[in-house]
Amino acid sequence: MATGLLTIDLDAIAANWRALDRASASGVQTAAVVKANAYNLGADRVARALAHAGARRFFVAVAEEGAQVRQALGPGPQICVLSGHMPGDTEMISDLDLTPMLNSLDQVTRHLESLPGHAFGVQLDTGMNRLGMEEAEWEAAAPFVLEASPELLMSHLACADEPDHALNELQLANFQAMTEGTGVPRSLAATGGILLGPRYHFDLTRPGIGLYGGLPYEGALRAVTLSLPILQVREVAPGEAVGYAASWVAEQPSLIATLPAGYADGLRRGLSNRAVLWDGDTPCPLVGRVSMDLITVDISHLTEVPKSLDILGPHQGPDDLADAAGTIGYEILTSLGPRYTRRYLEGRT
Ligand SMILES: *Cc1c(COP(=O)(O)O)cnc(C)c1O
């Protein structure tokens, strides 16, 4: 174990998908978002586990990710590409049977001209101002786009993790107005949208973070454990400092453990003097600055020096660590570096 052991619980991810599937209104299909290598947990393994659990439709950010997921899943499941049909994607979309979510008139033209008859969906912008066709553009395009039989009309909520935010209702109303009466299956809700209730579910929901144990899905099972071995232990006398910039100074005789993971492994520098690691049920404070490859942890209060400490685990999820670092669970997960040894748990439930 060189820098740490990242354990990914595929059973927990599958259980989270099933729970979100049950939370989606009856008759609603539940897809799975596996972009960014399944939030960095391994798109191949995650997509296969979710297909086994019953997921039939997957979303990725770009065509290259779609190609990887297709290779993992084989023919059958639908793989939707959120960035749509970009220049240079045509062959991949065609050969690997990807379904682009077209985001502009340009993309519509490119798709219908280069791959007539090939499946596609349309992404509409209902108020986030990030991706998708806006109302006027859609009004102009809708007649001939609908003629070409899109598989899905979708949009994305900007504030779904804040149930009381006024933009939710506004986006819902815009989405209704833009899609009403088209007869095409519709999708508006990611994890946060599922939790807003059935009015947001339409025909298909698209959870991502909730599958991987992150907020806003509070009921999610934890899917990730990150265990770091102790590399060295030293006694530090009162008045002595630890780490870069001498930002932590011992007030009493202390036992400091050095662990081989740092900001190059996704343990952000903002965790310096803020995060906690765990020896089983006992918290141990991270002291001093996070270095590129190392962190230092105060283990003075432990009765025995353990072999390793957990920085993600039963007592601390990605969102807890995110709070300490001033970010969100999504960024903690997608920042976890390539040096960890990855281990998958599967088939225990
Ligand atoms: C990332 C993303 C999702 C999944 O969002 P979560 O908040 O992770 O559930 C769904 N739809 C779109 C368009 C996305 O970009």
User: Can you give the pLDDT at residue 3?
Assistant: 84
Which entry of 35, 212, 263, 340 is annotated as an active-site residue?
35
- Res 92 pLDDT > 70: yes
Query: Quick one: the chain helix, strand, coil %, rounded to 5?
Result: 35, 25, 40
Pocket lining: 325 vs ligand 1, CB cutoff 6 Å: no
At 178, give phi and psi (nearest 5°): -80, -20
Residue 28's nearest CA partner among 219, 199, 214, 215 is 199
Q: pLDDT value at position 177? A: 98
292 is in an annotated binding site: yes
In angstroms, the CA 77 to CA 63 distance is 15
Clarify whether 200 is annotated catalytic: no
**pLDDT value of residue 26:** 87
The pLDDT score that the predictor gives to residue 208 is: 98
Closest protein CA for atom 13 of ligand 1: 156
Count of beta carbons in the 10 Å neighbourhood of residue 136: 8
What are the tokens at 83? 């960035």
45 assigned to a ligand binding site: no
Q: State the CB neighbour count (10 A cutoff) for residue 223.
A: 27
Q: Is 262 in the pocket of ligand 1 (CB under 6 A)?
A: no
Coil vs helix vs strand at 136: helix
For the chain, the first-to-last Cα distance in angstroms comes to 27
Q: What is the rounded average pLDDT of the residues 267-278?
A: 97
pLDDT of the residue at 167: 98
* Any ligand 1 atom below 6 A from CB of 209: yes
- pLDDT tens-place string over residues 315-346: 999 999 999 999 999 999 999 999 999 999 99
> Mean pLDDT, to the nearest integer, of 94-107?
98
Q: What is the pLDDT of residue 40?
A: 98
Q: Strand 232-236 relative to strand 224-229: parallel, antiparallel, unpaired? A: unpaired
Q: Which atom of ligand 1 is nearest to the CA of 210?
A: 9
What's the mean per-residue pLDDT of the chain? 97
Percentage of the chain exceeding pLDDT 90? 97
Burial code (b: 16+ CB inside 10 Å, e: under 16) for 45-81 equals: bbbbbbbebebebbbbebbebbbbbbebbeeebbbbb
Residue 235, pLDDT score: 98
How many percent of the chain have pLDDT more than 70?
Answer: 99
Q: What is the dihedral of CA 150, 152, 158, 161, to 10 degrees?
A: 180
pLDDT for the residue 348 = 78
3-state class (DSSP) for residue 170: helix
**From the candidates 200, 212, 217, 244, which is the catalytic residue?**
244
Residue 301 pLDDT > 60: yes
HSE (CB half, 13 Å, CA atoms) of 182?
27
- Across 201-206, average pLDDT: 98
Q: Is 212 a catalytic residue?
A: no
The string of DSSP codes covering 275-295 is: -EEEETTEEEEB-S---SS-E
pLDDT digits (tens, 9 = 90+) for 3-17: 899 999 999 999 999
Q: Which domains does the chain have, with CATH numbers?
A: 10-212 (3.20.20.10), 224-345 (2.40.37.10)
Q: At residue 19, does pLDDT exceed 80?
A: yes
Q: pLDDT tens, 208-243?
A: 999 999 999 999 999 999 999 999 999 999 999 999
Bridge-partner residues for 229, per DSSP? 308
Question: Which segments of 286-332 are extended strands (E)?
Answer: 295-298, 308-312
Q: Is the pLDDT of residue 157 over 70?
A: yes
| pLDDT tens-digit series, residues 45-78 | 999 999 999 999 999 999 999 999 999 999 999 9
- Looking at residue 25, its pLDDT comes to 84
CA of 280 to the centre of ligand 1 (A): 33
**Residue 1 pLDDT class (50, 70, 90 cuts):** low
Which pLDDT belongs to residue 119? 98
